[in-house]
Structures are given as structure tokens and as C-alpha cells.
Amino acid sequence: MAARLRLDHAGIEEMLKSAQVAGVIDDAAAAVASGVSETARDGQAIPVKVDSYTTDRAAAGVTMAHPAGLGIEAKRGSLSRAAAAAGLEGSAGAEASQLLDYVTASGRRRKATRAQVDNWTRGRS
Amino acid sequence: MSPAAIRFPDPRLAVRDLARELLADRTEPSALGAVVSTKTASPDDAKRSLPHVHVRSDGSFRDSRLNGRATIRVVVWHRDEGLAQDLALLLEALLLATTSNRVRGFSSVTGPLPTSDPDTGEPISYFTLTARLRPEQL
């Protein structure tokens, strides 16, 4: 007999927003930030900021907070290489973090990523 | 019997060669005369040839014997910001639609984003892709 699997979406969301998961994310972001050491043309050290936030899950961003930050990332890949050294692989972050309005089968409206919507609606016409 | 040894290609060389092939026949003004290299653009004006496309790998990942990937960053130096961005957009589109005997395919990660060279102030544009590498049995 085929088993029926029902995901506890509310439970999964609660877990992804929990302090424990946020702590793991913050540790990973701190590891990336500590791997970045850049200086601007004028010799000033580039400040590296970590911002923790919550979408449908705990998240964190690492930023070179300087006008030259984007150019340094373009030319040297400082953040990208620090992330790889911390065992993190780049993904389509901007796309993944963009939340869509999704109406569930029961009519409930909720925010979801494109990947979540694709997963929930797979096989439907 | 021990399992077969599997290796993956050097992602920088694989993507550099692919980019050279893809740009060779393009007639868009931004692509004419483009040099594709694993080396950065020379800061020396006398040696400089624009447009210059720099291909490098920011990390390689292997989560099973047959599944290898690399984060590839492509930086475009050009005569002005518009041309740099145009060539970056063109090359990203071409790479996302192609495959080779060393790369199974690409996924977009970031960009193309226009910015400036932090050392010289010249216009550049860059984008990042994930390259899914083709395994090779030794």
C-alpha cells in the first residue's frame, strides 16, 4: 500500500526560524566575514558587515560596506572565495530571496520563494 | 575491485575555451576583438587590449563521485560602462545556453553587474555562474 506523506509546513517554517538554526546561519556568516580582508585604493581597510534577518527562514548577509566593495568583489571575488572557503556554494540569492504571494489549496495566502511554489505545484497543470 | 577513478576538468580552462568559441563569430560591437583569458587585464596601457574578459574560479565543489561544480566569475573590461555591460550580458546568455565536452551546463548566480575596477577606476561588468562539470573516468 502506498504511504501518504504530509509535510508539516508550519512546523518546518518554525524550525527554520528557530534560534538554533539562526545560530548556525550566523556562525557561517561570521566565518565568511572573517575570511575577507581587503583595502581600498586609499589604503583604508574595507569594513565587512554581517546582517542577520528573517524571511521565511533565518538568514544572514555579508557585505563589504564601502563604495569600492562591488568593484573589489568583481575583480577579486573576495566574498565569493571566502564563502567557498567556509564550505558555502553560491546560488541565485537574489532570485531565491524574492518572496512571492502564493494562495494555498485551502485559500490561505502566504509568502513563498519561487522554489517552494515550483515544488508545491509540480505535476499540476 | 576498486571503483573507477573520476576526475573533473579545470573549470577556468574549460570555461575560457568555451567563451572563446562562443565569442569568436559574434558581430555585436561589444564583442568584436574580445580577448578571453584566465589572467586579469594588464594595468599597463601599452599592453592592454580591450575588450578583455577574465575567467576565474572562486571555488570547486564535489558532493559525490560524479557530481562536480565550480563557481565561475567572469569580469569584462571595456572602453565604456555600456559596452562592458553589453558584452557581459551577451556572454552570460551564451554560456547559459551551451554545453561542452567539459561542462554539462551553467546556472546563473549573480549579475551581470556594472561597476568599476577598484585599482584603476575603469568600467567593468561581472557575473557569476555555477558550472556543472563533466566527469571523466581515468
- B52 in Cβ contact with B37 (< 8 Å): yes
CA distance A86 to B126: 23
C-alpha cell at A60: 544572514
Are residue A83 and residue A120 in the same domain, yes or no?
no
CA distance A88 to B61: 9
Residue A5 in any domain: the answer is no
Are residue A62 and residue A105 in the same domain, yes or no?
no
Whether residue A92 and residue B107 make contact (CB cut-off 8 A), yes or no, is yes
The partner residue sitting opposite B117, judged by closest CB among A71, A84, A85, is: A71
- B102 in Cβ contact with B133 (< 8 Å): yes
Q: What is the ipTM of this complex?
A: 0.84
Are residue A100 and residue A46 in the same domain, yes or no?
no
A107-111, B54-58, B92-96, B119-123: the lowest-pLDDT one: A107-111
10 Å CB burial of residue B113 (0-12, 13-18, 19+) is middle
Are residue A104 and residue A58 in the same domain, yes or no?
no
Question: How confident is the model over A7-40, as pLDDT tens digits?
Answer: 999 999 999 999 999 999 999 999 999 999 998 8
Whether residue B69 and residue A90 make contact (CB cut-off 8 A), yes or no, is no
Whether residue B119 and residue A75 make contact (CB cut-off 8 A), yes or no, is yes
Residue A49 in any domain: the answer is yes
Q: Compute the mean pLDDT over every residue in chain A, rounded to the nearest whole number.
A: 82
10 Å CB burial of residue B95 (0-12, 13-18, 19+) is buried
Question: How confident is the model over B1-46, as pLDDT tens digits?
Answer: 788 899 999 999 999 999 999 999 999 999 999 999 998 887 776 6
Are residue A20 and residue A62 in the same domain, yes or no?
yes
CA distance B81 to B71: 24
| DSSP conformational letter for A1 | -
Number of domains in chain A: 2
Are residue A82 and residue A116 in the same domain, yes or no?
no
Which residues constitute the domain of residue A116? Answer: 95-125
Are residue A58 and residue A24 in the same domain, yes or no?
yes
The single-letter code of the amino acid at A17 is K
Are residue A48 and residue A81 in the same domain, yes or no?
yes
Question: How confident is the model over A42-101, as pLDDT tens digits?
Answer: 888 999 999 999 999 999 999 998 888 899 999 999 999 999 999 888 765 444 344 566
Are residue A81 and residue A102 in the same domain, yes or no?
no
